[in-house]
Structure 1
């Protein structure tokens, strides 16, 4: 019979690269671990590893079990952590993953009243899920995903939180500063500054530049919004950001925003959660607060 401990072994051997190293992490002797591995292979009727000298390579069956381990073990670990929190009289920790760099400022405005209303719930924000938020939800690494690009999958739900407009942010001295909107071909000679996200996930590329077969003269990535807009204010490039965020910075920096195309680019921010977590009261409360908060971004301007 396949047991949770067997999945732990498979995952740890893969992580450590050898039975010896895995045995140390699992607090077993190498002989005990080898015996367990042989026993489970006999029970399953198929080898899990091919042995090549001292190295191990997962068989097709082993690859399947590793995939199973990577899906199930985080759920066990999350459940155990939550049970410990319940036993200690705590509700738990709400773990939020961010696929939206500029949404961090908005999130702070939602987290503050949430913490006041839920004093026995902690909040942890993870900003390294820009390229794998869906996997992080399924893997129970996060509980809520903030994203402008929901990927509908069975077992997940996405609630729209607010609408916003993607705009081009330029220096007040820039040649675009006083125009109503810009056309894609006008960015041919510009340095475009973005967050370090693949261009396939950038709206200015997908919805503005690529449909017109336009490539900016240079594409530069910057991690933080403050530095990005300092560069823009110094006429070192232009940036595409939500209008509400651009307006906040325009109050303290010499920058202004311009529509991307005559109609502009309209977007939405969604909160993704697991359907199985619908009964968790503090998670549902966060989604409702975010959706109804008066501190959210303004509606798209026309």
Structure 2
């Protein structure tokens, strides 16, 4: 039995006339009759009662008509789903977000993507660069936000833009009255920073910038999460630094101020496995990169 025979059968059942059905199908009447006979032979049942001028369905033919409609509908539906999968419109993407992208960039990305691809299931996790690299290597995520440089030959990396730091301090701190804060103004201030053990290169660059500004930083606390550092700043424990995008995160008792002077920046990028073959992942990357780069902060090539 062939799918085309089911289509021919449905057409004949609709017209109840081989001549009209053949004309509708752009076939000769003998060719159509031959295909219907072949279908009946394969099923070993008679589908039509034929007369010289017309035909009608047998009881078995009436029942088989329901089956034929259902089979062709399921085949058409399966073809459409297959095409959607091949075009990256259906599936699942596991995305690793950084703390900053979780609170800003992710909002616009997810809104844009879900509008375009409502049938894709997005699974979100958060973490740092090292965690995302390891998660990509071990197939726990499909795409991850990372900070450059990274050295992992199994990954493809797509640079996005530079993220800059700003100062976060208690609303009651004297420096909160300033619209901008020079780095050298922090010479005698207690500072809360990202842990050295988690970002040794960034930590070293931070120390170097402070020394170039004429002082060695007075680090009183290290904390991985920006929300923790903001809480400590609000409590008056010290002054901290967060990425500029995180000023969208409301923190009671804290104000944000631009920083004047040389200070380390972070280069945000996207990473995926070089061997990634999933159409839905590749399509997601296209949307994600376009949305991220629309910030007009693209890195220089």
Q: TM-score range by the shorter chain?
A: 0.5 to 0.7
- How far has the Cα of 1:173 moved from its partner? 3.5
> Which structure has the greater CA radius of gyration?
2
- How far has the Cα of 1:188 moved from its partner? 5.3
Could you say which residue in structure 2 is the equivalent of 1:206? 204
- Distance in 2 of aligned mates of 1:150 and 1:239: 24
Give SS of 2:175's match.
coil
Query: What per-residue deviation string (whole Å, max 9, x for no partner) do you get for residues 48-95 of structure 1?
Result: xxxxxxxxxxxxxxxxxxxxxxxxxxxxxxxxxxx9xx7xx9932211
Alignment length, in residue pairs? 208
Residue pairs, 1:126-145, within 5 angstroms: 126-128=125-127, 131-145=130-144
Could you say which residue in structure 1 is the equivalent of 2:241? 240
Could you say which residue in structure 1 is the equivalent of 2:282? 284
- How far has the Cα of 1:224 moved from its partner? 5.8
* CA pair 286-90 structure 1, distance change in 2 beyond 3 A: closer
- Distance in 2 of aligned mates of 1:219 and 1:199: 13
Residue pairs, 1:1-302, within 5 angstroms: 91-98=90-97, 100-105=98-103, 106-128=105-127, 131-177=130-176, 178=178, 179-183=180-184, 186-187=186-187, 189-194=189-194, 198-201=196-199, 205-210=203-208, 212=211, 214-221=216-223, 223=225, 225=227, 228-246=229-247, 248-249=248-249, 254-259=254-259, 262-277=261-276, 279-293=277-291, 299=297
- How far has the Cα of 1:265 moved from its partner? 3.1
- Distance in 2 of aligned mates of 1:180 and 1:92: 47
TM-score under structure 1 length normalisation: 0.56
- Distance in 1 of aligned mates of 2:295 and 2:192: 24
Contact 2:157 2:270 in 1 (8 A): yes
- Distance in 1 of aligned mates of 2:174 and 2:94: 43
- How far has the Cα of 1:294 moved from its partner? 6.6
- How far has the Cα of 1:137 moved from its partner? 1.0
- Distance in 1 of aligned mates of 2:294 and 2:223: 26
Contact 2:93 2:122 in 1 (8 A): yes
Contact 2:191 2:217 in 1 (8 A): no
* CA pair 193-237 structure 1, distance change in 2 beyond 3 A: farther
- How far has the Cα of 1:241 moved from its partner? 1.2
Could you say which residue in structure 2 is the equivalent of 1:21? none
- How far has the Cα of 1:271 moved from its partner? 0.6
Consecutive unaligned residues in structure 2, runs of 5 or more: 1-81
Structure 1 window deviating more from structure 2 (279-288 vs 140-149): it is: 279-288
Give SS of 1:154's match.
coil
TM-score under structure 2 length normalisation: 0.56
* CA pair 256-191 structure 1, distance change in 2 beyond 3 A: same
* CA pair 224-151 structure 1, distance change in 2 beyond 3 A: closer
- How far has the Cα of 1:222 moved from its partner? 5.9
Contact 1:129 1:136 in 2 (8 A): no
Query: What per-residue deviation string (whole Å, max 9, x for no partner) do you get for residues 133-161 of structure 1?
Result: 22221211111111123413323111122
- Distance in 1 of aligned mates of 2:187 and 2:170: 14
- Distance in 2 of aligned mates of 1:200 and 1:215: 18
- How far has the Cα of 1:102 moved from its partner? 2.0
* CA pair 244-296 structure 1, distance change in 2 beyond 3 A: farther
Contact 2:128 2:146 in 1 (8 A): no
